[in-house]
Every structure is written in C-alpha cells, then in structure tokens.
Amino acid sequence: MSDAIWAGTVGFTGHEQAELEAYLARPLGDRPRGGVVVIHHMPGYDEGTKEIVRRFAAGGYAAVCPNLYSREGAGVSPDDQAAAARAKGGVPDEQLVGDVAGAAAYLNSLDHANGKIGVIGYCSGGRQSFLAACSLQIDAAVDCYGAFVAADPPADFPLKARSLLSRAADLSCPLLGLFGEQDSYPAPSEVGVIETELDKLGKEHEFHIFPDAGHGFFSTDRAAYRPVAAVEGWKKIFAFYGRHLAA
C-alpha cells in the first residue's frame, strides 16, 4: 500500500453558498476511503490543525479542514481572521452546520470516496463536532475536549454557544469522546452528564478521560501536550474510524 499523500489549499461551498477556503489532504492511492472533516480549535485554521489533516491522510482517509473564519476576508492571515471572528462572538451554530455539510459533500465528490464521513473537532471544535453529528447524517463523530456540550457558558460570557444536551436525541452516529481529567471546561463531571444522557437515549458512544491530561492535550506545539494521552488518543481515533468509516 502506498503511503503517499497530496495536501494543499482548496475551495469548497459552505453555508449559504459561501465560497470558503479549506486544507485538504488525501492519499494518492486508488483504494476506496472514507472522509474526515476536521474542525479547528478556536484560535483558528493553524499549522497544528493542518498537521492533523495530513495525519488522517497518511492513515488512509481524505481529510479536509474548512477555514471557519474564511468570511473575515481572503488574503487575511488566519490569526487576524480568528481575532476578527472572535470579536463577533465566534461562529454561529447554524453557519457551522452548513459549513460542515459543505465540507462533507466536497469530500464525497472526490475520487475514491466511499461515501462515509467522520467529523472530529478540538476545543470549541469538539462541541461543534457534536453539533454537526446531531444536525447532519454523519457516520462517526469525535469530540476532543469540547466544552459547553452539557452546560451553558457562564452568564457573563459573550460566547453565543449554548448546551447541546437537548439535541442528543438527534445524534446520527457513534460518538468517541476524548477528555482530560484535569480539564475544567469540560470538567469530568460535565463529561459524566453527557455520558448519562447518551446512555439514557441508547446512543452508541465511547468516552475516555485521560489521567494527567488537561485541555488541549493533543496540541504538540503547546505546554498542554501530554504524549501518553495523545498517543493513546490517536490510536482510539483510528480504531474508531476504522470500524465506522470502512467501505
């Protein structure tokens, strides 16, 4: 099996027909493969997230990360786009769902797509991965330490996001949740609330709370990086997608 990949910037059509930027990585081989939509964390469409996209391609998937802040202007650097989007209170939920739907359709339009779509998100993207899986027909979703899935943000936060627990009944696919025991947002107690709700609804899920890890433990370029949790987490992600995104 060839492990060669192609990676680079592409365009796709997102919510309300907006033309958006994205980073795509895909294997060069011709085996049928699933697609993965990677939802970046709140600081934006950065090098760390692009590395994650390439890792999925090296693992045999076509993966795309939409730049959720594309609307802040073409030619504007991703950090300035992120600051501008943040000043507006972040990405509205409806827009996120439309953008993920567009990214999934884009992946399914590529040669050798098998029609299966996974989503994965980190930090705010973890909540957005859960949201996408409750709003769209997805085949496997991964939530990496997404806060405000089971709890609303504190009242004085300008963040528009609200708890998604009432949407859990609409979860369209199995959910893998990867969390840090030392994280406060989401705290293990919030993770427990999500798990209880999914148990009650009979929704397939697999949650792991890693010891000695907090928020952002997958981020290799930050002090929060925890190699034990990250290495084990990556194994669980590939095993999960292997079960649910195969042809």
Partner 1 sequence: MCTYLTENFELDGAGKGATGWFTVSQGAVYVDHPYHATHEHTVNIDFTNPSEGPSARVAVELTEESALALVEAIHKTLAAAPPGLASTKR
188 or 242: CB nearest partner 1? 188
Q: How far is the CB of 175 from partner 1 (least distance, A)?
A: 21
Q: How far is the CB of 42 from partner 1 (least distance, A)?
A: 4
Nearest to 116 by CA among 59, 63, 176, 168: 63
Q: How far is the CB of 144 from partner 1 (least distance, A)?
A: 14
Phi and psi for 128 in degrees, rounded to 5?
-70, -30
Q: Using CB under 8 A, list all residues that contact partner 1.
A: 41-44, 46, 72-73, 75-84, 86-87, 89-90, 123-124, 147, 153, 156-159, 184-185, 214-216, 221-224
Q: How far is the CB of 151 from partner 1 (least distance, A)?
A: 11
Q: According to the 3-state scheme, what is the secondary structure of the chain?
A: CCCCEEEEEEEEECHHHCEEEEEEEEECCCCCEEEEEEECCCCCCCHHHHHHHHHHHHCCCEEEEECCCHHHCCCCCHHHHHHHHHHCCCCCHHHHHHHHHHHHHHHHHCCCEEEEEEEEEECHHHHHHHHHHHHCCCCEEEEECCCCCCCCCCCCCCCCCCCCHHHHHHCCCCEEEEEECCCCCCCHHHHHHHHHHHHHHCCCEEEEEECCCCCCCCCCCCCCCCHHHHHHHHHHHHHHHHHHCCC
86 or 167: CB nearest partner 1? 86
217 or 241: CB nearest partner 1? 217
4 or 155: CB nearest partner 1? 155
Q: How far is the CB of 31 from partner 1 (least distance, A)?
A: 36
Q: How far is the CB of 232 from partner 1 (least distance, A)?
A: 20
85 or 165: CB nearest partner 1? 85
113 or 187: CB nearest partner 1? 187
10 or 83: CB nearest partner 1? 83
Q: How far is the CB of 139 from partner 1 (least distance, A)?
A: 27
Edge-first strand order for the sheet with 5-13 is 5-13, 19-27, 62-66, 33-39, 113-122, 140-144, 175-180, 205-210
